[in-house]
């Protein structure tokens, strides 16, 4: 029995928790300091739009770096990439805490985004290495449940820290989280790649070229990435809608912001139960219909009261959470090699689609809720329109 098989026999609940903690580094990095952005801008007498670059450029750096770490893990293994990424994440977070101006802060945030990509990519690669079929679906669903806690509590934790300390403590806490995960990974995470690919940069490019020639993978990845992409649009406008448009406090914002991640977690949990009775196709189709319905609620009522905005955004989050484990599993079913590169490509595509939604919703619209609602309508709505074609073309379990 090889090391990957031995690790698969370990208590699965602890494994799921550890993988979820690795996947939680991105939402912790982005959501915990959302309430601090106005404070940072005020301290340095900088426009909020400039400080918001630390959020947008973080996603760009994170997304692009996924491709590098995925290919690198196919060559050197999952473990070295994971350990190096966690160490770099801790250092970058500490640099954010020590920033003396917007430029330093933005550059440190870019470095944090680069290093956060490593543990995120390795989580999905590990699931693809060690699990198959329904077991993998269940693993991805439970990981989705647990990581939904991070964006649910992160804004409230950040707001609580701001009440008793400076925003720099937020990034020092992130640095300690990275060091804690690094210690756990160093002792318990074993190599899961069944074989390593040779070559350098040219070989990495060839791996992505092979993926690009896999038409089913490209089709599944480019379509399924649109399912949950508007969630980052919500992250981008939630503070503006709740605190500036409706004048709510930071603490109230933190509580209302948490409703959407809570419903996303509920959706992932519901997925684990419904898989016993319904097929992947049925559940993804239901998620698409539900998402489009939520877009109509936001279009009709989202600007009237923050309660309707919360209802529509949280309802969409539920259906996004329900579909995410199934859509990720569907994409992974289309590949049989270059697993690290494929896993990174999946997350890269999802975050780039989400970054596009964030850029759209934060483009200075007088009615950002409408822009967010249209993102939901057109993205999941497009998949819904193409669903008969996708069912015929893609390989479902």
What is the Cα–Cα distance from 227 to 187, expressed in whole angstroms? Answer: 36
Half-sphere exposure for 303 (CA within 13 Å, toward CB) = 11
Per-residue pLDDT of the chain (397 residues; tens, 9 = 90+): 445 444 444 446 677 778 888 888 888 898 899 888 888 988 999 888 788 889 888 988 998 898 888 778 777 788 899 999 999 999 999 999 999 999 999 999 999 999 999 988 887 777 777 676 777 777 777 777 766 677 778 888 888 899 899 999 999 999 999 999 999 888 877 776 656 666 666 777 777 888 889 999 999 999 988 888 898 889 888 888 898 888 888 778 878 988 998 898 899 889 888 988 898 889 999 999 999 999 999 999 998 999 999 999 999 999 999 998 888 888 888 887 777 678 778 878 888 888 888 888 877 788 889 999 999 999 999 999 999 998 888 866 5
Q: What is the dihedral of CA 265, 266, 268, 272, to 10 degrees?
A: 140
Q: Return phi, psi of residue 395, to 5°.
A: -90, 105
- Give me the long-range contacts of 216-222 (CB less than 8 A, separation at least 24): 216/334, 216/393, 216/394, 216/395, 217/331, 217/334, 217/335, 217/342, 219/390, 219/393, 219/394, 220/330, 220/331, 220/334, 220/390, 220/394, 221/331, 221/334, 221/345, 221/346, 221/349, 222/349
Question: Given phi > 0 = left and psi -120 to 50 = alpha, else beta, which region is 198?
Answer: beta
CB 59 within 8 A of CB 355: yes
Q: Which residue has the tokens 């259906």?
A: 319
Of 51, 161, 28, the closest CA to residue 99 belongs to 51
Locate 33 and state its tokens: 């300091």
Question: Given phi > 0 = left and psi -120 to 50 = alpha, else beta, which region is 364?
Answer: left
Which pLDDT score, from 0 to 100, does residue 339 have? 72
Of 174, 169, 166, 173, the closest CA to residue 42 belongs to 166
Convert the pLDDT of each residue in 131-142 to its tens digit: 767 777 777 777
Q: What sign results for the dihedral spanned by CA atoms 61, 186, 31, 16?
A: positive
CB 159 within 8 A of CB 253: yes
CB 162 within 8 A of CB 35: yes
Which pLDDT score, from 0 to 100, does residue 9 have? 44
CB 254 within 8 A of CB 155: yes
CB 116 within 8 A of CB 29: yes
Which pLDDT score, from 0 to 100, does residue 76 have? 78
Which pLDDT score, from 0 to 100, does residue 97 have? 96
Which pLDDT score, from 0 to 100, does residue 6 have? 46
Q: Is 46 exposed, middle or buried (0-12, 13-18, 19+ CB in 10 A)?
A: middle
Which domains does the chain show, CATH number per domain? 3-393 (1.20.1250.20)
Which pLDDT score, from 0 to 100, does residue 316 have? 96
Share of the chain above pLDDT 90, in %: 33
């Amino acid at each position: 029995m090889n090391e990957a098989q031995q690790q698969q026999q370990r208590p699965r609940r602890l494994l799921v928790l550890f993988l979820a903690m690795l996947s939680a580094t991105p939402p912790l990095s982005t959501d915990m300091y959302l309430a601090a952005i106005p404070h940072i801008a005020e301290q340095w007498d900088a426009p909020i739009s400039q400080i918001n670059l630390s959020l947008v450029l973080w996603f760009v750096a994170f997304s692009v770096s996924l491709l590098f770490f995925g290919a690198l893990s196919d060559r050197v293994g999952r473990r070295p990439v994971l350990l190096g990424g966690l160490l770099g994440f801790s250092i970058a977070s500490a640099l954010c805490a020590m920033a003396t101006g917007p430029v330093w802060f933005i550059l440190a945030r870019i470095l944090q985004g680069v290093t956060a990509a490593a543990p995120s990519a390795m989580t999905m690669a590990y699931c693809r290495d060690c699990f198959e079929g329904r077991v993998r679906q269940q693993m991805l669903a439970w990981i989705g449940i647990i990581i939904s806690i991070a964006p649910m509590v992160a804004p409230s934790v950040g707001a609580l820290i701001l009440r008793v300390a400076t925003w720099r403590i937020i990034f020092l806490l992130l640095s300690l989280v990275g060091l804690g995960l690094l210690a756990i990974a160093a002792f318990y995470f074993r190599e899961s790649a069944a074989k390593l690919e040779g070559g350098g940069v040219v070989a990495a490019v060839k791996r992505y070229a092979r993926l690009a020639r896999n038409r089913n993978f490209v089709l599944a990845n480019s379509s399924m990435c649109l399912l949950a992409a508007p969630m980052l649009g919500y992250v981008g406008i939630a503070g503006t809608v709740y605190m500036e448009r409706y004048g709510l406090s930071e603490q109230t914002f933190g509580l209302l912001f948490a409703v959407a991640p809570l419903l996303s977690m509920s959706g992932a949990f519901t997925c684990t139960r419904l898989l016993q009775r319904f097929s992947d196709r049925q559940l993804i189709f239901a998620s698409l219909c539900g998402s489009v319905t939520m877009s109509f609620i936001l279009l009709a009522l989202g600007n009237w009261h923050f309660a309707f905005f919360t209802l529509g955004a949280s309802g969409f989050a539920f259906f996004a959470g329900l579909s995410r484990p199934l859509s990720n599993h569907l994409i992974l079913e289309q590949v049989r090699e270059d697993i690290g590169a494929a896993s990174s490509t999946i997350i890269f595509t999802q975050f780039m689609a989400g970054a596009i939604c964030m850029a759209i919703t934060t483009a200075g619209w007088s009615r950002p809720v409408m822009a967010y609602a249209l993102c939901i309508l057109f993205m999941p709505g497009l998949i819904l329109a193409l669903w008969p074609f996708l069912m015929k073309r893609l390989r479902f379990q």
